[in-house]
Chain A
């Protein structure tokens, strides 16, 4: 029996788009494989916990890990409350008037602004105009602005998953709008908001362009105690990888360090992503049961 042409066509078509999918999976697999294969031999206790030595050709990356940690903390403290409050307004209070449409348009456009433009903006605003100088604070705030649209969107998604009946129940009993939100909406939405926050934070931790002019340093192994650290320059994992692969005077010699840095950065980000996915998974199960 002759196979009809359209069946052959279907086979070929599906094969092509299957190959496209395989390609996408292979790209990620190769990235992870290469970084793990060449990064793993470098990783040891010293690499994680020591400062760079001998013109950064030896030693570890501890200051870069600490720097990334503090910048992320500032980013979260700035961006999460604002993002949550904005999302509460958009999802709970706002009706479909013009100002709300403008806010939504602004949020979507903010998420498309190039990170280097945020960097320039943060430099002009925080570093120069507000006199924060080159510091963890300047960089953290710049990244906070960058992540703002993501936290708003993620928080709104979380609020949307709370069933309408939860709100109606409270309102019917005579609770005010705010009482309803506080007691019957937020408790159920917070874990979802947490997921979005972690995802946003993971992306912020890997950003380089916004911190380029606002505080990151080539070599800054000084690690002061808590408040002081916020007002100083810092090292960061992504920037460390950048200089180790393009700016260092002995690029080939420091390549293993670059691979090690890339591995630590990727593990950090994938772990945060994993955590977020796990929280979301737990959440879905909980809602299904409810």
Chain B
């Protein structure tokens, strides 16, 4: 057999190189795809584990009954409603605090503060984001609890107010940093036009800059809300965990996340109780998914507008 000449060798080498390049690209692609696989995996696993319980309990009882008492001797009841209300209530409370404070802070560091102040505040926000939820919960028990008890004259301060305040602290960094990004990326021309018409910097901020940054701000609030809905340790530690529909913000409450954390360890694998906790997780997953999706759509719109 004749020796392959140099041209053939070079063609073969070229082909091998191309194949190698394709393989490497595929290798990276598979890893990119993993995110999708994990997301679908979580969704289907929660669904598969939870669905038999939902069939047994019935959709109507699960979503409309107020009673959650899976270990009752007479009749076990699986009603999500009280936890759902608790979760929504504590989230609402958190947002009432975190939205004005967060947006105010974002506006201040983006538009008003001098660079030196910004250099201090930005790391503060980052460190605050890094404080573990269990530490925040711990201070909720030890500092915020007694304070609230004294303030409102209740026996202890482990209630929805406490949870709301702590969740506000947990979601503030998200709201501040994303809102600030949105406010900073409003084109200077918009502000200049407003200032040139004689508006003050405050009027410009309220009537021009914030409305222009609105979609980013809304997205930040949605993300902060998602974080509050899914937060576990702080509410588990600081809200008292009474499984009933709360009458007021001073009642002890028990959120969906806390219920999973408390009860999973006590359940028998494969029992309805065990599976019902997966249904709760499934509902949580859907809630946060929707919140994220909305913020995503809002952000996408905002990026298009600004281009």
Using a CB–CB cutoff of 8 Å, the interface residues on chain A facing chain B are 6-7, 9-10, 13-14, 16-21, 23-25, 27-28, 31, 34-35, 82, 85-86, 88-90, 92-94, 99-100, 102-103, 105-110, 112-121, 123-125, 128, 145, 148-149, 152, 176-178, 199, 202-203, 205-209, 212-213, 238-239, 241-242, 245-246, 255, 258, 262, 265-266, 269-270, 273, 277
Contact = CB atoms under 8 A, between A and B. Distances in A.
Interface string B87-122: 000000000000011101101110011000100110
B153 to A, nearest CB: 22
B21 interface: yes
Which 6 pairs across A and B sit closest by C-beta, in order of nearness? A114-B230, A206-B132, A20-B104, A85-B31, A89-B28, A10-B202
A82 B135 contact: no
B114 to A, nearest CB: 12
B204 to A, nearest CB: 10
What is the interface of chain A mostly: helix, strand, loop, or mixed? helix
A238 B132 contact: yes
For chain B, give the interface size range. Answer: 35 or more
24 contacts: A14-B201, A14-B202, A21-B105, A21-B121, A23-B101, A24-B176, A34-B143, A82-B31, A82-B34, A85-B27, A88-B28, A89-B29, A108-B296, A110-B35, A114-B230, A114-B232, A121-B45, A148-B34, A178-B24, A206-B130, A206-B132, A209-B133, A242-B233, A265-B132
A7 B203 CA distance: 10
A177 B24 CA distance: 10
A10 B200 CA distance: 7
B257 interface: yes
A173 B224 CA distance: 47
A269 B232 contact: no
A145 B38 contact: yes
B221 to A, nearest CB: 13
A264 B142 CA distance: 18
A270 B130 CA distance: 7
B172 A24 contact: yes
B283 to A, nearest CB: 10
B160 interface: no
B36 interface: yes
Contacts of A85: 27-28, 31-32
Contacts of B236: 246
Given A82-B31, A120-B277, A109 B39 contact: yes
A195 to B, nearest CB: 12
Contacts, number: 256
Contact of B35 (A92, A148, A245, A270): A148
Nearest to A38: B142
Given A24-B101, A203-B130, A258-B138, A114 B284 contact: yes
Given A31-B136, A113-B42, A116-B261, 4 more contacts: A25-B120, A108-B292, A121-B45, A238-B135
Interface in B257-281: 257, 260-261, 264-265, 269, 277-278, 281
A42 to B, nearest CB: 14
A270 B293 CA distance: 31
A117 B28 contact: no
A245 B138 CA distance: 6
A51 B195 CA distance: 65
A202 to B, nearest CB: 6
B102 to A, nearest CB: 8
B46 A20 contact: no
Given A17-B108, A31-B139, A85-B31, A176 B233 contact: no
Given A93-B25, A209-B232, A245 B260 contact: no
B125 interface: yes
